[in-house]
Amino acid sequence: MESQQERVLVYLRDLILKGEFSPGERMAEVALAERLQASRTPVRLALTTLEQEGLVEPSPAGGYVMRRITATEIADAIAVRGHLEGMAARLVAEHGVPRQLSNALNECLRTGDRLLAKQELTLDDYAVYTDMNNRFHQLVVEASGNAALIRAIEMNNRLPFAAASAMLPMQSALQEGRNWLFMAHQQHHSLVQAMEKGEGARAQALASEHVQIAQMNLTYALESPELCKKLAPALQLVADAVL
């Protein structure tokens, strides 16, 4: 059963990433405890964890405030994910891909193929693709069998817009969005092929390169403030965004 402390952390992080707080806004323990229907202790512990994750920072007046994040920090976190997932893909290739993993990965590929065979994608289609994309990346990471690597990726993914599907909402509003998804999904196919053939170096290179589409999404998002407000409200926390 999920503890109150964990529940408060998950809910508070979710509120932050939905853009519920402005940069510099004071994170008052009493108000947050009331909002989350919790006592102050789990809220205080959650804020300490969120400081470690880089989402809040100590206030000179005491307590915490929302931290303004730079676009460079997000780009760096996406790059780190690429390197970590590259290592995971290499380990999977070197260990060999068992039948159960192969079936699960190929089911993800078929789901993406069915969606991208459409002439136009709806918002529901993007939601299905996002679920598939999350599962695909999770399968590769967990199959690496390296607990320290898995923890490192989980920690990195808690940073704003660092996770595999974090920037996908932007694509639903882009004319090039479907093309970018097609490119990303072709990389999924190539990655599965490399892992199943035991090509560790190629799998690592493909997984590392895969994050470039997320970097393209970030660049576009920061140049499109109106879309940001609608599709990625947490981008108001980014110092380089003109919101």
Can you tell me the distance from the alpha carbon of 87 to that of 102, in angstroms, rounded to the nearest whole number? Answer: 18
Longest dimension (CA), the chain: 58
Q: Are 128 and 115 in contact (CB under 8 A)?
A: yes
Can you tell me the distance from the alpha carbon of 124 to that of 115, in angstroms, rounded to the nearest whole number? Answer: 10
Can you tell me the distance from the alpha carbon of 78 to that of 84, in angstroms, rounded to the nearest whole number? Answer: 10
Give the tens place of pLDDT for each residue, 93-124.
999 999 999 999 999 999 999 999 998 888 78
Can you tell me the distance from the alpha carbon of 102 to that of 106, in angstroms, rounded to the nearest whole number? Answer: 6
For 71-227, give the CATH class: mainly alpha
Distance, CA of 155 to chain centre: 11
Q: Are 169 and 138 in contact (CB under 8 A)?
A: no
Whether pTM exceeds 0.85: no
Give the tens place of pLDDT for each residue, 10-49.
888 878 877 788 888 999 999 999 999 999 999 999 999 8
Which residue in 209, 212, 188 sits closest to 105, CA to CA?
188
Q: Is the pLDDT of residue 1 over 50?
A: no
Give the tens place of pLDDT for each residue, 46-72.
999 888 877 899 998 889 999 888 888
pLDDT of residue 198: 98
| CATH code for the part of the protein at 4-66 | 1.10.10.10
Give the tens place of pLDDT for each residue, 158-192.
887 788 887 675 555 556 667 888 999 999 999 99
Q: Is the pLDDT of residue 149 over 70?
A: yes
Q: Is the pLDDT of residue 2 over 80?
A: no
pLDDT of residue 43: 94
Domains of the chain, residue spans: 4-66, 71-227
Structure tokens at 58: 């100590």
Per-residue confidence band for 91, with pLDDT thresholds at 50, 70 and 90: very high
**E-state strands within 40-188:** 56-58, 64-66
